[in-house]
Amino acid sequence: MERIIEIIKEIKPTAVVDENTRLLDDHVLDSLSMVSLVSELCDEYDVDITPVDVVPENFATVKDIAAMIERLEDED
């Protein structure tokens, strides 16, 4: 989860983020930063995040992102 937080902070340097931050509800992520985040996560974790995976439930918190990545890794 720490690496996911680092990636988010690289994309949004002014963001205050921890594992429970509500990334969408607190407007940490917008549409442009979501595109960047998905790209970075795909590269970092060598997973394919498809449009089907890009739903609020998977990006609500860092914990949700980590769970999605773990699920995608298990599917490979």
Work out how many domains the chain is built from and give that number.
1
| Residue that the structure tokens 């940490």 belong to | 28
Alpha-carbon gap, residue 41 to 1, rounded angstroms: 12
Residue 32 sits in a domain of what CATH number? 1.10.1200.10
SS3 of residue 19 by DSSP? coil
Alpha-carbon gap, residue 41 to 25, rounded angstroms: 20
Instruction: Please report which confidence band the pLDDT of residue 13 belongs to, taking 50, 70 and 90 as the band edges.
Output: very high
Which residue segment(s) compose the domain that 47 sits in?
A: 2-75
pTM (2 d.p.): 0.94
The predicted structure's pLDDT at residue 50: 96
